[in-house]
Structures are given as structure tokens and as C-alpha cells.
Copies of this chain bind each other. A is one copy, B any other.
Amino acid sequence: MNKKTNLIDILNKLKRMPQIVTPKDASLILGYTGVSPYSHIVDAGSGSGFLCIFLAYYCNKGKVVTYEKRHDFAEVARNNVKSSGLKNIWIKEKDILEGIEEKNVDLITLDMKNAEEVVKNAFQVLKPDGWLVVYSPYIEQVIDVRNEIENFSFTEKKTVENIVREWRVGRHTLPEVSGVMHTGWLTLARKF
């Protein structure tokens, strides 16, 4: 695709697996970390690649390295990245629990089980003022991650949930009667 192609139009053409990080949550990562378009980003696990594509699209002068240990997921992510036309994404078919090879990272995003086990390595490879963001569908994961974050010199620690309520507007105006009540929590922390 053309580099000026709209991101939503790109995403709508990709293969979608369950439990992608939704645009509302992906965009909040930009809104709350303020990472620059020149950022070096590390992401794990890739899943279908939606989050790394989202970040690489807006951090177009930077690059995103994304780790995925499952071969089948990495294949989907590779195809989706190829379809996206973005040139600043590298997929590593590896378990990030075995180590992070990058240095001086501006942002690390984790959407994976046992994310708390990555916190220590994440802290080490982050630049000062760099951000760690963890996406957790379950509150137990949030608690584990926040507990682990307490062991390192992070600041600006914050956990949020983001609820978007769609409205029907017209002759009768009201919130949609049913909809998505929950996707996941975002936990943010910044290296001091």
C-alpha cells in the first residue's frame, strides 16, 4: 500500500485473530506515553500484528521490533505486516522471556501472558524516560505486573481501563443498548 493510505483502511484488510489490541487501546498508548514518531519500539507478543502495525504507522521515522514465539502467529503477523506496506517493522520469532536484544528503547509494549517476567529486562533496555506499557485482559495480570514494576525505578505509574460507548443519534438519542464493556487494562510506567 501507499504510505499515505489511511491506517483504518489498512487494518480492515488484514487477517484478524481474536483478542487484538483494539484501536481505542492502541491509540491511548500514543496519547498517554506521547512517544515520538522517531521512537524505537519493542513489542511482544505480535499476535496478528495489529498493535505493532498501529505503532509503526504513527512512529513512521522510528522502528518496531516485535517478538512472537508461536510460529503460526508469527506467520500471520508477517503476512499482515507485508500487506500493510510498512517497512519499519521487524518480526522476531522468539520468546521475549529469553531476553531483549535491543538497547536504548523508547517504548516497550507487552500483550502476552506472564508479562511480569519481562519487566526486569524491559527496565534494563529502556532509555531513561522510556515507557513500558502492558496490556492485560485480566486483573490478576495487572496486579502481578504492578507488583513487579514496584521493584524498579519506574515513575508515572498508572493503570487505566478505557471504555468507549457508542451512541445512536437522531430523532432518538441514546447510548447503544449493548456493546463492548471490557477489552483490557493498560498499565504504564516510565523509566526514571
Interface residues of A (CB under 8 A from B): 3-11, 23-24, 26-28, 30-39, 54, 57-58, 60-61, 129, 137-140, 142-143, 146-147, 158-167, 169-185, 187
Q: Which of B3, B11, B28, B58 is the one whose CB lies under 8 Å from A24? A: B28
Q: Which of B146, B159, B167 is the one whose CB lies under 8 Å from A142? A: B167
Q: How far is the CA of A4 from the CA of B58 in the complex (A)?
A: 13
The majority secondary structure among interface residues of chain A is: mixed
Contact B58 A61 (CB under 8 A): no
Contact A162 B159 (CB under 8 A): no
Contact A138 B172 (CB under 8 A): yes
Given pairs A9-B34, A30-B58, A167-B185, 17 additional interface contacts (CB within 8 A)? A3-B36, A6-B129, A8-B34, A23-B34, A27-B27, A28-B31, A37-B57, A60-B61, A137-B174, A139-B174, A140-B172, A140-B173, A160-B164, A161-B164, A177-B183, A179-B179, A181-B181
Contact B173 A182 (CB under 8 A): no
Contact B178 A180 (CB under 8 A): yes
Q: How far is the CA of A20 from the CA of B115 in the complex (A)?
A: 34
- Contacts A31-B27, A164-B161; A38 near B3 (Cβ below 8 A): yes
Contact A37 B58 (CB under 8 A): yes
In the complex, chain B residues whose CB is within 8 Å of the CB of A165? 160-163, 181-182
A35 nearest CB neighbor, chain B only: B6
Contact A179 B181 (CB under 8 A): yes
Contact A182 B172 (CB under 8 A): no
- Contacts A6-B36, A60-B61, A163-B163; A177 near B181 (Cβ below 8 A): yes
